[in-house]
Structure 1
Amino acid sequence: MFENLRWQARDQHFIPWLLLMVLGWVMVASAATGIGEKLTGNAAYFAIRHGVYLMLGVAALYIASQISLERWRQFELPMLALGFVGLCLVLVPGVGHEVNGSRRWLNFVLFKLQASELAKLAAIFYVSGYLVRRLPEVRERFWGFIKPLFVLVIMVLLLLMEPDFGAAVVLLGAAMIQLFLGGVKAGQYFLLMIGTGVLSVIALTSEEWRVARLMAYLDPWAPEHVYGTGYQLTQSLIAFGRGEWFGVGLGESVQKLFYLPEAHTDFVFAIWAEETGLFGGLMAIALLTFLVARIWQTVWIAQQRGLLYGAYIAAGIGSLLALQIVINLGVNIGLLPTKGLTLPFFSYGGSSLVLACAMIGIVMRVKHEAMLLPELEQHDDGGAQ
């Protein structure tokens, strides 16, 4: 046990993850004071709960890092089945918990679980296992490339029924990156990308509320949007503007006092930028970028040492986290339409935080097993033999 703790502490993913966890706690503790006092009379209510989630996240990282990749491989189908069951149950009244018009949480008495978080991790393992088992078929036949997408499309449709368009984009995007790294023919891949783009446009324009969000994104300051569908974005931009270079001071945000909805979840970064300014915002982004870069370094190491299953898993996790970071930050600063996606390690939320920590534990396991293998000899064809 102590030997395992030592290799975890030496792992290059450990320090940035730990710093992100601490910084995220500070963010939530500051951003949630107003809503905590209003709902419970205790300004520290959400900070305390987030602290509990942090401890659960630490436990999740440790447990995930102790499970061998061979054992994870045996969990592929059960995880996929659980992912589908969760996405189906969340649509059942009384079981699925509805917040702000979206039914995304499974309502267990003591806690609520966001079904999409488990589904995303299950999809990563499913695609990784499929690529290892059917790699020649994926590279040589169009049908081999398309088959796993049927499973993913069903997941995406279930997510859109919640509705959770953001999670659907992240799940499908991460899977597409995994397939691309698997060596799919470029023509087939880009043809599918075009088709996916067309279907995304159809999904965006199929519901009135999505069209309203899109219009508000294009011009949030318009009189018909500024106090309606564009309200969150305009308040977020005001928070960034107030932060200037070095912020108004930790805990001194005005926007978190019921001006900016979801200040401690989807828009926690806007509050952080208001309180710490451009300097604090860039520091947080640098930490997130550093962690994602280390994950992709693990992908390279695993590939170089022939641990393809681990490489695909790490690539899926790196893509998932990177896409979620880009989308959340893009929403906060107005580059993307508003989506209900949390910022990994920063936003308040038990399911997202614990699963994100488990993902880092899995990547650490990939790195550990890869480092036990010798580097494979590289030949002129560019592949590991």
Structure 2
Amino acid sequence: MATSRKRSTAKPIEKPSLLGRLLGRDLAGALAGGGSTDGIPVRLSNRTYSGSRNLAVRELGFDQPLLWVVVSLLAWGLVMVYSASIALPDNPRFSNYTHTHFVARHGLFMMIGVVAAIMAFQFPMKTWERAAPWLFAFALVLLVLVLFPFVGKGVNGARRWISVGIMNFQPSELAKLAVLLYAADYMVRRMEVKERFFRAVAPMAVAVAVVGMLLLAEPDMGAFMVIVVIAMGILFLGGVNARMFFLIALVVVGAFALMVMMSDWRRERIFAYLDPWSVEHALSKGYQLSHSLIAFGRGEIFGVGLGGSVEKLHWLPEAHTDFLLAVLGEEFGLLGVLIVIGLFMWLTRRIMHIGRQAIALDQVFAGLVAQGVGLWIGFQAFINIGVNLGALPTKGLTLPLMSYGGSAVLMNLVAIAIVLRVDYENRQMMRGGRT
């Protein structure tokens, strides 16, 4: 009697794919076009992706395109600082310096900033949240100390620096990061009263006002403007009542206008900005702006070539700091300026995207911090570019990541490292891990 073999109906055991082993079943399914229902909701722009619409996450630990854009800006800035400062030792004021003095110091500041950024990246966002009030208090102490003659170092009538050996540290740069972290932490703690304007905003307004009075005593109105924009931006993004927010924005604009009207030298800057070519202003308050515009005019479309700037030869003051973009425009032309603007626009948008993603993952503090950094970098770059192009009144703000300056480069890199940490924790959560 012939025995019939019964066919097995059991399905063969499938080995997990490499993608599945690396990223997990849900995420691997999303990358392969599958429809998991356990997807973590992630908001991109004005859309919310959740449920079956999972967001693909690369296995990279952080956002590498963002890192490479930052590296590009740093490298280009280093080249431009060398080009803009190489002729400074010919000036009797800098006769004791070598031709590589400023670029060597800028390179040293960058290395210190990179080390500080690597250290900052190691701390989880929960640690930054706990440290926010203490960092804010520390920044206030430094802002007070810098006003004392035996502590603060004065240059051109302003007392903004504290000498720490290898560099002169500017407390106002630390204050930008400290206010940013404090405002984000404040909004998380006061989330339940965010619709009650005065209960939500008044304590933060007092904190910013205290910082503002200390900064105006230096004086450093530019840093104060950046801090106000950071604080107000975080309050708005945190959900403070919109109508009352715009009312306080009008009050802030009015306050700045009043400060300009009550200060003779600030008022003269405004008049010089309106007509830098007049006989009255061309050799005084409008001198920098007029020579900046001459530099852009000489650059035309493609520039005169790297190292070919004439304005940096003792015509344009502060060519390696506040007016670095003017030298860049002269040597690289309109094309170079548009590339710089494009890089900062992309960088700001990318940072804001990381912040929105963190908020969608219910990491509100981390999201507000990232968006605050985006406001900081984007607004300061906007002001500096506008000043160089004559679109805004002259204001002593450097171009982030590019201009010469130890404190600014240091704090910019620490801020970028915190954003990369936010992105790293976002990716961990989306892979099902814990931050």
- Which of 307, 314, 318 aligns to 2:363? It is 307
Match of 2:149 in 1: 93
State how 1:341-360 maps to structure 2 within 5 Å: 341-360=397-416
Match of 2:66 in 1: 13
Determine if the alignment matches structure 1 residue 51 to structure 2 residue 51. no
C-alpha distance in structure 2 between counterparts of 1:57 and 1:303, whole Å: 28
Higher relative contact order (CA 8 A, sep 6+): 1
Determine if the alignment matches structure 1 residue 279 to structure 2 residue 332. no
Which letter does structure 2 place at the counterpart of 1:30? S
Superposed CA offset, 1:178-222 (max 9, x none):
100111112211111111111111111121110110110111111
TM-score scaled to structure 1, two decimals? 0.93
Match of 2:425 in 1: 369
State whether residues 197 and 244 of structure 2, in contact with CA within 8 Å, keep that contact through their aligned partners in structure 1. no
Which letter does structure 2 place at the counterpart of 1:93? P
Higher helix share: 1
State how 1:71-82 maps to structure 2 within 5 Å: 71-82=127-138
- Which of 111, 121, 127 aligns to 2:183? It is 127
CA-based RMSD: 1.6
State how 1:1-385 maps to structure 2 within 5 Å: 7=60, 11-38=64-91, 39=94, 40-374=96-430
Alpha-carbon spacing, 1:41–1:147, altered in 2? closer, same or farther (3 Å)? closer
Q: What secondary structure, in the 3-state scheme, does the structure 1 residue paired with 2:310 have?
A: coil
State whether residues 133 and 182 of structure 2, in contact with CA within 8 Å, keep that contact through their aligned partners in structure 1. yes
- Note the C-alpha offset of 1:125: 0.5
Q: Which region of structure 1 is more displaced relative to structure 2, 57-66 or 307-316?
A: 57-66
Which letter does structure 1 place at the counterpart of 2:271? M
Which letter does structure 2 place at the counterpart of 1:156? G
- Note the C-alpha offset of 1:11: 3.1
State whether residues 106 and 114 of structure 1, in contact with CA within 8 Å, keep that contact through their aligned partners in structure 2. yes
Q: Which region of structure 1 is more displaced relative to structure 2, 273-282 or 140-149?
A: 140-149
Q: What secondary structure, in the 3-state scheme, does the structure 1 residue paired with 2:154 have?
A: strand
C-alpha distance in structure 1 between counterparts of 2:226 and 2:366, whole Å: 20
Q: Which runs of 4 or more aligned residues in structure 1 lie more than 6 Å from their structure 2 counterparts after TM superposition?
A: none
- Note the C-alpha offset of 1:351: 0.4
Length, aligned pairs only: 371
C-alpha distance in structure 1 between counterparts of 2:84 and 2:374, whole Å: 27
TM-score scaled to structure 2, two decimals? 0.83
C-alpha distance in structure 2 between counterparts of 1:113 and 1:234, whole Å: 30
C-alpha distance in structure 2 between counterparts of 1:135 and 1:263, whole Å: 45
- Note the C-alpha offset of 1:145: 2.1
- Note the C-alpha offset of 1:252: 1.0
Unaligned runs of 5+ in 2: 1-58
C-alpha distance in structure 2 between counterparts of 1:181 and 1:10, whole Å: 23
The percent of aligned pairs where both chains have the same amino acid is 41
State whether residues 139 and 185 of structure 1, in contact with CA within 8 Å, keep that contact through their aligned partners in structure 2. yes
- Note the C-alpha offset of 1:374: 4.0
Larger Rg: 2
- Note the C-alpha offset of 1:175: 0.8
